[in-house]
Structure 1
Amino acid sequence: MERPILELLVNAPREEVWRAVSTTDGLREWFGYDYEQRHGGRPERPAAGFEAELRAFVEDAEMVPPERVAFDDGTALTLAADGPRTIVRLVVPDVADAKWEDLYDGVAEGWRFYLEQLRFFLEAAPKGARRTVYLAGRATGRQVVELVGPGTPWYEASVVTPQGWLVSVGADPDDTVPGPVNVIVSTYGLDDTAFATVRDDWSIRWIAAVDEPEVITADPGSG
């Protein structure tokens, strides 16, 4: 038996959502963030680099087109058509155990972060290839929200900038106690020069605002 621990409705037909979750080209436009092999070793990222991770995502998963992508940790993404929309669910084995409950809470939170990127890619249809800036460190949620600044709210924990980019915030905006925080800035359609300007702007502000700052991007042509 399985049970859903995360569900969201995407305003796109199931065929489009399936391509986005089951192909490397689709995944590249929404999943996670760019990083190179030398940035590997983080718990959530293997050392092989982002492009290798995308290939592993596709090759190591059990695909049941167009409705299910199952992973070797027991989790799976399921896609259910809802007219012209798609219900995306993250399901897990139905295990009655407190330790599993805690683990799955963490799994759901991580996937929530990424699935908002999926929904943005499919609903907002940004133009051009995605390039990301990943920011991590220790700060309060309020500090992160202030640093990100105003934008158009995008569901629960993201904003869309005036340039049409998604800024996903991994922090509780009401948290006044410093803790691990992260932000993914997903830009679209930028050349090397324009992206370098965006990266440097975010890096300067982030390094000045948080403890233990880390900034990760990928150089052109890496992976």
Structure 2
Amino acid sequence: MTPHPSDPDDTPVLVVTIAAPVAEVWQALRDRERVHHWHGWEAEGLDDEIGQIYFSDEVVEDGAAHTLTLGGGDRLELLPDGDATRVRLTRPPVSDDDEWAAYYDDITEGWVTFLHQLRFALEHHRDAPRRTLFLAGPGEAPDPAGLADGSTWFRSQQQVGTRVPAWGDGLLVTAHIPARNTAMAVLTTYGMADDELAALDTAAQAWWEGRPGAVDAR
């Protein structure tokens, strides 16, 4: 996922192909409850974040063309690809605001995570509720194999997605942004009871705190 060579501003264009028809992917973007099944992770304020990003008055929606232009300038376009759908997200140019521009790469990496979470949810857990854990902090991203047995499900320049059967066929996403020397991990699980999730949280904390450069991981 790198800037598309035909893009005049050399802004990142992210493309993910999802094994689902356009109508179903569109519904996953326009039904607020379905967005909760893939966007971000469980945290206070998630519903407000979803509302601001996908459903605010600044969002421009074209249901016939299946395009969505968000308030920050990011543009989502759904393109049929046989029985599948190519989701193309074009980022806006970097802001002149230095403070906002400093987080441009972080936001781009966030979109990489979200688009693959969307793909995972639609291909493996359509309409299924999830339970998630999130970790972030300075330092490198730890090796996914140190936490869970699984298979690589996607890999980008900065991220690795690992499919984890033991988590109810869940997903572990790890990322590292070298420019800021920060890392994050999103653990997505299905069908876990409270005690199982608590045990995973404890194991994840130890795994995260043992990574290179870790400082107050939580």
TM-score, normalised to structure 2, is 0.76
Sequence identity percentage: 27
Is the Cα–Cα contact under 8 Å of residues 5 and 89 in structure 1 kept in the other structure?
A: yes
The one of the two structures with greater contact order (alpha-carbon pairs below 8 A, sep at least 6) is 1
CA distance in 2, matches of 1:106, 1:199: 24
Three-state SS of the structure 2 residue aligned to 1:171 is strand
- The structure whose residues are more often helix, as a share, is 1
| Shift in Å, 1:94 | 6.8
RMSD, aligned α-carbons: 3.1
Matches within 5 A, 1:157-196: 157-163=160-166, 164-171=169-176, 179-196=181-198
2:116 matched residue in structure 1: 116
Q: 2:38 aligns with which of 30, 41, 49?
A: 30
Three-state SS of the structure 2 residue aligned to 1:197 is helix
Q: How many positions carry a matched residue from both structures?
A: 197
Matches within 5 A, 1:28-107: 28-36=36-44, 49-60=45-56, 61-65=59-63, 67-93=66-92, 106-107=106-107
CA distance in 2, matches of 1:213, 1:162: 29
What letter matches 1:159 in structure 2? Answer: T
| Shift in Å, 1:190 | 1.9
| Shift in Å, 1:160 | 0.8
Q: 2:26 aligns with which of 18, 28, 42?
A: 18
Three-state SS of the structure 2 residue aligned to 1:155 is strand
CA distance in 1, matches of 2:109, 2:25: 20
Q: Deviations over 1:15-69 (max 9, x none)?
A: 1111111222111111111112xxxxxxxxxxxx112222333321222226112
Is the Cα–Cα contact under 8 Å of residues 76 and 89 in structure 2 kept in the other structure?
A: yes
| Shift in Å, 1:159 | 0.3
Unaligned runs of 5+ residues in structure 2 are 1-7
Is the Cα–Cα contact under 8 Å of residues 91 and 108 in structure 2 kept in the other structure?
A: no
CA distance in 2, matches of 1:21, 1:55: 11
What letter matches 1:161 in structure 2? Answer: V
| Shift in Å, 1:193 | 2.6
What letter matches 2:54 in structure 1? Answer: V
1:132 matched residue in structure 2: 132
Structure 1 stretches of 4+ moved >6 Å: 1-4, 99-103
Is the Cα–Cα contact under 8 Å of residues 134 and 183 in structure 1 kept in the other structure?
A: yes
2:152 matched residue in structure 1: 153
Unaligned runs of 5+ residues in structure 1 are 37-48, 216-223
Is the Cα–Cα contact under 8 Å of residues 133 and 186 in structure 1 kept in the other structure?
A: yes
| Shift in Å, 1:81 | 1.4
1:220 matched residue in structure 2: none
CA distance in 2, matches of 1:88, 1:179: 29
1:41 matched residue in structure 2: none
Change in CA separation of 1:195 and 1:126 when aligned onto 2, cut-off 3 Å = farther
Three-state SS of the structure 2 residue aligned to 1:35 is coil
| Shift in Å, 1:123 | 1.2
What letter matches 2:193 in structure 1? Answer: D
